[in-house]
Structure 1
Amino acid sequence: MKSKILISALLLSYVCSAQADPLSAWNDSASKQAIEQWVQNATNQDRSTFIPPDKRYVVFDNDGTLWPEAPLTFQLRFAVDEIKRLAPEHPEWKNDPVVSAVLKDDFRTVAQSGEKGLMQLLELTHSNITTDEFAQRVSNWVDSHQDQRFGCRYDQMGYQPMRQLLDYLRDNGFKTWIISGGGIDFMRVLAQKMYGIPPEQVVGSFSLSEFSLTDNGTQLRKTMKGAFNDDAAAKPVAIHLFMGQRPVAAFGNSDGDLAMLQYTAANPDFRTFGLLVHHTDAEREYAYDSHPPASGKLIEGLKMAQEKGWTVVDMKQDWKTVFDPALCK
């Protein structure tokens, strides 16, 4: 009887411990330990590494760091689906080689069109509409589309370990921001629900909107004027513009995030933390670094992480789950 009671007690203790682990989707690896150790050091007032709560700003890339960017980024997938939805209303588009390639799912031709082709798709699907109408289109797309490989909606595909990490940091007094090359208006529709990050803490690529009075009040209409691409060296610029102070931790996954990690690491006042997500799991997600399917090249970042002591997360080895199994197969 005593042995049964002891076994039951041990099982209960194990279950409670698992439930209490805020990073339960992470394996107990060096990456998880590095995160926990840094947070403990930063939040313990008795240590020289203590960071005051009003300075605990941390920044996250989005594509490839919080949700997948392969085989296409979600925003490009949205643009493709919008082109297909709107094409019957615009017969003049059929003569455009980039649009024609989209309609044929010929993404090699789309890729070969480069930045010019991408900007063309964005102009057709992201401009000359009000900001409210654009947000509604994104919401409608999320409600009506799902990822074919994983069988779940795009707003259910936030990486479970990273979502736990966001919660863990906030529970310890950190303010979480998104600093991403993705479109600011696109991400703001999804970030609160997916990550618990409010719109004012989402910073991304943008172009200027135009204000006007209407019979019903006012409106902002999206344009392609004054485009700002929030990637690479532009990320520290955006951090300064929108946040007004240097972060104490930065999380990314590609060489496009290097400037953000370097800017954070150079914080003269605090011991900072840097982390790169390395996509190594072809079975549960995708595996790439030097040759990504669309974006997210990671070459220099791996070298610099070793030099700077940044944490590199091996997705295959460090994560118990990639997506929430209750949502995605």
Structure 2
Amino acid sequence: MRLLFIADPLETFKTHKDSTFAMMREAAARGHTLMCCGPQDVRWQRGEKVTAFVRDITLTGDADDWFRAAQQPPDERPQVLAEVDAVLMRKDPPFDPEYFYATHLLSQAVREGARVFNDPAALRNHPEKLAILEFPQFIGPTLVTRDAADVRRFHAEHRDIILKPLDGMGGMGIFRVGPDGLNLGSITETLNADGAQTLMVQRYLPEIVQGDKRILVIGGVPVPYCLARIPQGSEIRGNLAAGGKGVAQPLSDRDREIATSLGPILAARGLLLVGLDVIGDSLTEINVTSPTCFQEITQQTGFDVAKVFIDALEAALR
């Protein structure tokens, strides 16, 4: 197969933990051809199909100097997306206006016959913080608002709360406010831009000390191990980007209940790969843009997540 990865610059990859690299490595081992570009390299013009300016790459097996590219900027070659076997959208968040516009270009490519994973319409319809609202039976007390008075009322009821922006990633912009309410007003003003932006507020879940669990669901089926991202020191965030420690562990009964309930629904919408975030027994996020933790789970358990993903990709293309 000919696979096009739309991702962040390859030169920025940390190959010892990058999930997109793990996908590429498994695909290359099976003899698939690899191409790459960034969202900024995708274009459409009347009379043409959606085209990307790509680099054809091969993997070297070297941990540092890990790829060779047949083309270098600004001499990438044009590639019609409908003429490759699969396009894998692996650009990291934030889901900003440029990401949104990229999904529309990819939707046009789908109309022209391209196979895009995850489906670009599904990416637009499942913002990672807000997608949980569809499944209230699995989430803890949650408020979405831009109104500071709403936030104060939620805090008065639940006493210990988490506030976060809707467009954050890697734990960015997450605050905890305890029963004393210290700095609640200034934190709310910071996150809601004095009423101009919507934020999410959730009851603090003390089970975070045991980890913010990332559960991967591939083709509607959960990977049997999750990665518990455990906060370190005085930190409240378990995200690996915020210094959390990743510990792989088998899914609990509740983890499996959530994943098997949501998995088929999300897969039917074109979401081949999903990362569910669960703290204790509560679903907190549904990650669809570029779910990670492949390598950490594989290294600690021996379960080859990348193999399962490429198996699912090949099955979806048959």
Instruction: Give yes or no for TM over 0.5.
Output: no
Q: TM-score under structure 2 normalisation? A: 0.26
Rg larger for? 1
Determine which structure has the larger helix proportion and give its number.
Answer: 1
More relative contact order, 1 or 2 (CA 8 Å, 6+ apart): 1
Q: TM-score under structure 1 normalisation? A: 0.25
